[in-house]
Structure 1
Amino acid sequence: MNKRNFALAIVALLIGIFLVNIFQDQQEKKEKEEAAKLAEESMDLSNAEQGLAKGDQAPDFELTTLAGEKVKLSDYQGQKVILNFWATWCPPCKAEMPHMQKYYEKNADKENVEILAVNLTSMDEGRNAVQEFVDGYELTFPIPMDVDGDIGGEYRAFTIPTTYMIDTKGQIQHKIVGPMNEEMMGEMVAGMD
């Protein structure tokens, strides 16, 4: 009798493991579908709920960089701009920054492109943390500091990183929610005037 109960317990355990695996596979599939849908929606700027739309003039702003220089978005009219919103504590931002730096080093002059990596300072861990981050990643592009959070709010950078691709006329061409890699930046910049 004990052997039979033991065998039934093993069979029940195996069935349980099988059912858990099926459930996990379905959950993973659902999560992947949701992530793909979110990525697709973040690339589609025609949705008015997202605020700024493709073809809109990018709202101008003036911020002070980590290096203490004043920058205005309108000063970059005539250049393509990768306008990125980030924070030091954000893992996807950490993953994205080396790609941005590599892209910047290779293409800033060649592609007439500037990267403005706006630190959401109002949500971050202080100026020293930002400086350590910039030094640690050896970033050479401008780091404007959004101390009050106004610019991040205007650009609806609620999920970070959030990036806007702005053409030479100052018009928004793409919005990307989530990290980018060097290849993705190259393709988007190449497709803009």
Structure 2
Amino acid sequence: MFKKMFGITMLLVLAGIVIGNFIEQQFEKKTEPNIYDVTGDTNVEGGAIAPVESIGIEPGEAAPDFELETLNVEQFKLSDLKGKKVILNFWYTWCPPCREEMPEMQKFYEEFGDEVEIVAVNLTYMEKSEQDVHDFIDEFSFTYSVPLDREETVAEQYKIHAAPTSYFIGTDGIVQQTRRIGPMEYEFMEEMVHKLN
């Protein structure tokens, strides 16, 4: 009789342990972020599965020309910068990585502004209000060009599906480096610009 009771007790303890572990695993699944990298690149800072047509403008292709109004209510035309190196950046105000890289872009622009033009195209169609863009730029005193893509036309031309995204255009108007999705640091911009013709 004692052996029977001991066996049943052990069986209940083991069942309790199994059920407890199962519940704990289910809880961990709900609270863990998705950390799976499907790109195969061990240096990637994030990943997404996107359609082939979202690849963007490839190195060796001409940067599509566009004309937009800037925050200063002036007309900006990309082809007017032919002969200069250009970092073409796409961003919006409520994007944390965009907010992280913009001071780095300003620092870089102050140092290399005579050699490279920084064009920060605001994805205005993504903003709550256009005034948010004005307030943000004024608050941090960014001095590079900020054209406003109100109708998503330029974002579509450059196949922008995430922000920030940056293109690196040579003096010949050709995209010369692979686009960067994610924030840029000062050193990275310096490296990219030295690679441009």
Q: Post-superposition, which runs of at least 4 consecutive aligned residues in structure 1 deviate over 3 A?
A: 4-22, 24-28, 32-40
Note if 1:180 corresponds to 2:184: yes
| Larger relative helix fraction | 1
Note if 1:124 corresponds to 2:132: no
Structure 2: runs of 5+ lacking an equivalent: none
Whole-Å Cα distance in 2 between the matches of residues 73 and 177 of structure 1?
20
- Per the alignment, do residues 116 and 26 of structure 1 end up closer, same or farther by CA in structure 2, a change over 3 Å counting? closer
Amino acid at match of 1:71: F
**What residue number does 2:196 align with?**
192
1:137-189 Cα shifts (integer Å, max 9, x gaps): 22110100111110111111111111110001000023111111111111111
Amino acid at match of 2:121: V
After superposition, where does 1:28-177 map in structure 2 within 5 Å? 28=35, 31-32=36-37, 34=39, 36=41, 39=44, 50-109=55-114, 112-173=115-176, 174-177=178-181
Count of aligned pairs: 183
* Aligned-pair CA distance for 1:50: 1.7
- Per the alignment, do residues 148 and 12 of structure 1 end up closer, same or farther by CA in structure 2, a change over 3 Å counting? closer
Amino acid at match of 1:76: L
Give me the TM-score of the superposition, normalised by structure 1: 0.79
| Bigger radius of gyration | 2
Amino acid at match of 1:69: E
Identical-pair percentage: 41
SS of the equivalent of 1:175 reads: strand
Q: CA RMSD in A?
A: 3.3
Give me the TM-score of the superposition, normalised by structure 2: 0.77
Whole-Å Cα distance in 2 between the matches of residues 25 and 175 of structure 1?
30
Task: Verify the 8 A CA contact 1:39 1:177 in the aligned structure 2.
Answer: no
* Aligned-pair CA distance for 1:51: 4.0
